[in-house]
Structure 1
Amino acid sequence: MRRQHVRCAQTKFRSIGSAAFALTLPLILAACGGGEGPSSSAGVAASAPAPTGITRDVLVGRWGIASFHTDKDRKRTEAEARAGCKQPYTIVQGPGDGVMMHVADDPKPYELRLKSGGGKTYVGFEAPAGDPQDREILSHSRSMLMMRFVDPDAQRRYGTFIYSRCG
């Protein structure tokens, strides 16, 4: 019985620790990044229309966030994202047509835009859809978003993010 209690406590700690790690890792890595900002592709003008069915209003709001690396962890991660509403991540409208969000390895929020290409939906800088700094929106509803980084290295480090809208 005692062994099960310890295992349960370890699992809970891992879940909380994983969520905290996923949320703070970009800030920690940004401090080690030597002050590099977004790549020069951020300045490239690309006018990609917002994808059908998704507007920035879908993204704007307060979200609980958690991430997973394997599909078997998805359901658990959805529950962790809902629990993340205790300390929500806020996405607001940008000064232009986009939304203000953080990018990988940078503590500063940037205005990112919805764009589409190749039948996929992305959020990223004003660059062609599918740029390495983009996030692909894998699924969405009014209550939940699922996104992954396009860059394989960022995806390997951060995993697939579940955003759960906070009530």
Structure 2
Amino acid sequence: MLRRRAATGACLFGAALLLAGCGSTSEGPGSGVAAAGAAGPATIPRERLIGRWGIASFHTEKDRKRTEAQAKAGCSQPYTISKGPTDGVMMHVADDPKPYELRLKGGPGGRNFLGFEAPAGDPQDREILSATDTMLTMRFVDPDANRRYGTFVYVRCGA
């Protein structure tokens, strides 16, 4: 009787492990936006980013208009986005004073990202929320960087 209960328990345990394996997915650190499927090219041309910009950031939507004015005032000391050595743009990344070449990447649903050579939506990317010839709005994908830096507004200087 004891052997039968042990065998039944072992079978149930094995079945539970087998079912748990069937129900799990292979999503790991690269899941989320980056693993959401094949993405196409960015819908924003690189040339739209190149230039001299005033920058400011906000954390709550109600501060957007004030932040846009602050970004325009920032043209007294503009931030320059230049062409990269290949097909990207030269910009700084979070918590690093050195500029790097970043690439425009198209993501699922027509979303646009800017970052290193990695799938669109990588944690080190910025999502480009809007882009016109005179203004860009971006935020970091990484929740910690986004919490610290907020949403960036870039206003083209001389526009």
TM-score range, shorter chain: 0.7 to 0.9
Q: What SS is found at the alignment partner of 2:85?
A: coil
The aligned amino acid for 2:58 is F
The RMSD of aligned alpha carbons is 1.5
Question: Is residue 151 of structure 1 aligned with residue 148 of structure 2?
Answer: no
1:116 pairs with one of 94, 106, 111: 106
Q: Structure 1: 5+ residue runs without aligned partners?
A: 1-40, 42-46
Quick one: which of 82, 105, 125 aligns to 2:95?
Answer: 105
Q: Which has the higher helix share?
A: 1
Residue 34 of structure 1 is matched in structure 2 by none
Within 5 Å, give how 1:5-84 maps onto structure 2. 50-52=41-43, 54-84=44-74
Identity %: 75
Between the two proteins, the alignment pairs up a number of residues equal to: 121
Q: Distance in 1 between matches of 2:86 and 2:40?
A: 14
TM-score, with length taken from structure 1: 0.70
The CA distance in 2 between the partners of 1:50 and 1:137, in whole Å, is 14
SS in 2 for 1:157: helix
- Unaligned 5+ runs, structure 2: 1-29, 31-37
Q: 1:130 aligns with which of 112, 121, 127?
A: 121
Equivalent pair of 1:49/1:114 in contact (CA under 8 Å): no
CA deviation digits over 1:12-57, x for unaligned, max 9?
Answer: xxxxxxxxxxxxxxxxxxxxxxxxxxxxx9xxxxx965312x1110
Contact 1:66 1:84 (C-alpha < 8 Å) held by counterparts? yes
Contact 1:148 1:161 in 2 (8 A): yes
SS of 1:76's equivalent? helix
Structure whose CA Rg is larger? 2
Structure 1 stretches of 4+ with a deviation exceeding 2 A read: 47-50
Instruction: Answer yes or no: is the 8 Å Cα contact 2:39–2:108 preserved in 1.
Output: no
- In structure 2, relative to structure 1, the CA distance for the partners of 1:150 and 1:81 (3 Å cut) is same
- Indicate whether 1:94 and 2:94 are aligned: no
CA distance in 2 between counterparts of 1:76 and 1:69 reads 12
